[in-house]
């Protein structure tokens, strides 16, 4: 398997075990910005409204308050919502199943995309794990794939560059009057007093907010200076064209491939303890406290979270929090069984290999791939909220490759450039020819 990465050299990361922290939620500190002092008081307060999310900082000793208190605070439900949204599909090259469940959380902030035919040759799958509100995850599920498709790089066959640009494009599109209107339509409650969407910040729009030329037209209106949402989401997506797999990730959702029964991570969890992430955060004016950015956010890359992207003197990839994704391009072979994309509600409960083993155990027994996903969600759901793990929203996409893969016309990945590739878990992945994978 050949793996190629698109990521600026300054963001080369060294693997570190992912942070496993307790779930909870409290009022996140705001980064200092000279524009904050210009905000009306009611808008500053609206921008700091509390939203339950495991990615945002819990109050000190929050779990010590007890399960009943957490339920009363609105962080968890008294009983989990176990209704699932599930879907299946297939074409001549692959088939997929997916399932999502709200679980114990007070609201559902996950979203997903599954398009078997992004075009005649390409399939697109993605999971988006929201924090501080659901709108950014829903926005990405609705628009990210279309921005990949309309990219000039995509038309030229460079899927890696196309998806890389699409991640940054999400932040650009959520600004201004049009961004405010689209986010409003996607559904979090509107504060009637301040006219604010929960989780959104009001501040001047940057001069580089919309450099792209497409049909996302600029609109004048009362929210023309809207700088984008303070809520955010992770994004982990996979594009499959013939035997070429492109994985893009920002945040702590994860993509795993099963090769001859062995699990290999194709993405890394972006956490504050990673050295390169910590260096970027500090250089941009942020700090890390108790494993969280500015004592608040426990992941370092995300779409949205505009309060951490306010430095006018830095490009988007160097902000405290960045949407800059790691891009891996992988050549598939006949040993590849299936691909999994899932939010951390799954990975907090099962390791990559445990999940791959579980899928292999049930994939022949179940009538559909979505049924396998449903079994995983039930397996991960905690019996109570006491322990914290197994209490999150859960979303999983399972993609099975039809054999033989090598009969498909091979995609040309030779022109994809390698920029900063390190992933400890997949250093020993064998290529189709039996050689060791080199990062």
pLDDT tens for 327-340 read 999 999 999 999 99
Q: What is the separation of C-alpha 367 from the centre of its chain, rounded to a whole number of angstroms? A: 29
CA 333, CA 401: separation in Å to the nearest integer? 10
Cβ neighbours of residue 39 under 8 Å, at least 6 residues apart?
47, 202, 203
| Assigned domain for 280 exists | yes
Inter-CA distances, 394 with 229, 232, 344, 391, Å: 23, 17, 8, 9
**Residue 299 banded pLDDT, cuts 50, 70, 90:** very high
* 289 assigned to some structural domain: yes
pLDDT of the residue at 68: 55
Q: Say if CB 7 and CB 418 are below 8 A apart.
A: no
pLDDT band at 67 (very low <50, low <70, confident <90, very high): low
Q: What is the pLDDT of residue 53?
A: 58
The confidence score (pLDDT) of residue 408 equals 56
Rounded distance between C-alpha atoms, residue 8 and residue 76, angstroms:
39
Cβ(294)–Cβ(286) below 8 Å:
yes
Residue 138 CA: distances (Å) to CA of 313, 320, 327: 30, 23, 22
pLDDT of residue 262: 97
Residue 177: Cβ-neighbour burial (10 angstroms; 0-12, 13-18, 19+): middle
Phi-psi region of 105 (alpha: psi -120 to 50; beta: other; left: phi over 0): beta
- 137, 233 in Cβ contact below 8 A? yes
Residue 188 has pLDDT above 60, yes or no: no
Residue 434, in any domain of the structure: no
Task: List the domain range (segments joined by +) for residue 390.
Answer: 3-408+418-426
Look at residue 413 and tell me whether its pLDDT is greater than 80: no
Cβ contacts of 289 within 8 Å, gap of 6 or more: 295
pLDDT band for position 403 (50/70/90)? confident
The CATH number of residue 422's host domain is 3.60.40.10
Q: Give the range among 31-45, 147-161, 235-249, 304-318 with minimum mean pLDDT.
A: 31-45
> Which of 438, 425, 421, 413 shows the shortest CA–CA distance to 326?
421
Q: What is the pLDDT of residue 54?
A: 59
Say what percent of the chain tops pLDDT 90. 62
Task: Please check whether residue 87 is in contact with residue 370, taking contact to mean a CB–CB distance below 8 angstroms.
Answer: yes
- The encoded tokens of residue 19 equal 């942070």
DSSP letter (8 states) at residue 303: E
Instruction: Answer whether residue 438 is part of any domain.
Output: no
Q: Which residue has the higher pLDDT, 260 or 207?
A: 260
Task: Say if residue 3's pLDDT is above 60.
Answer: no
Mean pLDDT value across residues 183-200: 53
Q: Write out the H or E segment, with its range, that includes residue 129.
A: strand 122-131
Average pLDDT of the segment spanning 48-64: 46
Q: Is residue 431 part of a domain?
A: no
Residue 29: is its pLDDT beyond 50? no
Domain count, the chain: 1
DSSP state of 93: S
Q: Residue 439: inside a domain, yes or no?
A: no
Does any domain span residue 145?
yes
Question: Which pTM was predicted?
Answer: 0.77
Q: Which pLDDT value is given to residue 196?
A: 41
Does residue 264 register a pLDDT over 70? yes
pLDDT at 14 over 50: no
pLDDT at 129 over 60: yes
Instruction: Say if 435 falls within a structural domain.
Output: no
pLDDT tens, 218-227? 777 777 888 8
**Model confidence band, residue 158 (pLDDT cutoffs 50, 70, 90):** very high
Grouping H, G, I as helix, E, B as strand and the rest as coil, residue 100 is strand
Tokens of 37: 């002092």
In this prediction, residue 207 carries a pLDDT of 33
Greatest CA separation for the chain: 64
Characterize 357-372 residue by residue with b for buried, 16 or more Cβ atoms within 10 angstroms of its Cβ, and e for exposed: bbbeebbeeeebbbbb
* Res. 243 pLDDT band, cuts 50 70 90: very high
Q: Are 12 and 422 in contact, with CB atoms under 8 Å apart?
A: yes
pLDDT band at 256 (very low <50, low <70, confident <90, very high): very high
Looking at every residue in the chain, the average pLDDT score rounds to 78
CA distance 113 to 128: 8
Model confidence at 22: pLDDT above 60: no
pLDDT number for residue 193 = 32
Name the band, by pLDDT with cuts 50, 70 and 90, for residue 214: low
* Strand duo 303-304 + 292-293: pairing: unpaired
């Amino acid at each position: 398997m050949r793996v190629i990465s698109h990521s600026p050299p300054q963001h080369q990361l060294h693997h570190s075990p992912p942070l496993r922290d307790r779930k909870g939620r409290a009022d996140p500190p705001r980064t200092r910005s000279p524009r904050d002092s210009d905000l009306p008081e009611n808008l500053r307060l609206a921008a700091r409204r509390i939203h339950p999310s495991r990615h945002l900082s819990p109050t000190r000793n929050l779990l010590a308050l007890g399960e009943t208190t957490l339920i009363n605070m609105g962080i968890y439900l008294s009983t989990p919502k176990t209704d699932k949204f599930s879907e299946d599909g297939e074409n001549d090259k692959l088939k997929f199943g997916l399932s999502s469940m709200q679980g114990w959380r007070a609201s559902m902030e996950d979203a997903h995309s599954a398009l078997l035919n992004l075009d005649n040759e390409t399939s697109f799958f993605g999971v988006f794990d929201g924090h501080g509100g659901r709108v950014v995850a829903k926005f990405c599920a609705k628009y990210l794939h279309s921005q990949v498709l309309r990219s000039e790089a995509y038309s030229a066959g460079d899927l890696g560059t196309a998806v890389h640009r699409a991640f940054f494009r999400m932040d650009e599109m959520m600004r201004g009057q049009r961004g405010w209107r689209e986010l409003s339509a996607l559904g979090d409650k509107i504060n009637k007093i301040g006219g604010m969407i929960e989780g959104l910040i009001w501040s001047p729009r940057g001069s580089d907010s919309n450099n792209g030329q497409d049909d996302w037209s600029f609109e004048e209106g009362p929210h023309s200076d809207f700088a984008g949402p303070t809520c955010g989401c992770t994004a982990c997506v996979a594009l499959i064209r013939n035997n070429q797999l492109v994985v893009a990730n920002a945040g702590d959702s994860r993509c795993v491939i099963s090769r001859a029964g062995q699990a290999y991570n194709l993405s890394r969890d972006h956490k504050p303890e990673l050295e390169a992430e910590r260096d970027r955060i500090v250089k941009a004016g942020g700090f890390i406290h108790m494993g969280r950015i500015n004592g608040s956010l426990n992941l370092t890359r995300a779409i949205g979270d505009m309060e951490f992207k306010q430095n006018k003197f830095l490009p988007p990839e160097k902000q405290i929090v960045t949407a800059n994704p790691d891009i891996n391009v992988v050549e598939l072979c006949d040993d590849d069984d299936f691909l999994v994309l899932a939010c951390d509600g799954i990975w907090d409960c099962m390791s990559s290999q445990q999940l791959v083993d579980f899928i292999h155990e049930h994939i022949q027994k179940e009538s559909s791939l979505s049924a396998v996903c449903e079994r995983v969600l039930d397996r991960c759901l905690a019996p109570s909220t006491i322990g914290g793990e197994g209490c999150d929203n859960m979303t999983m996409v399972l993609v099975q490759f039809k054999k033989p893969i090598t009969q498909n016309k091979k995609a040309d990945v030779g022109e994809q450039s390698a920029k900063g590739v390190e992933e400890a878990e997949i250093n020993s992945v064998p290529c189709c020819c039996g050689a060791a994978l080199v990062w």
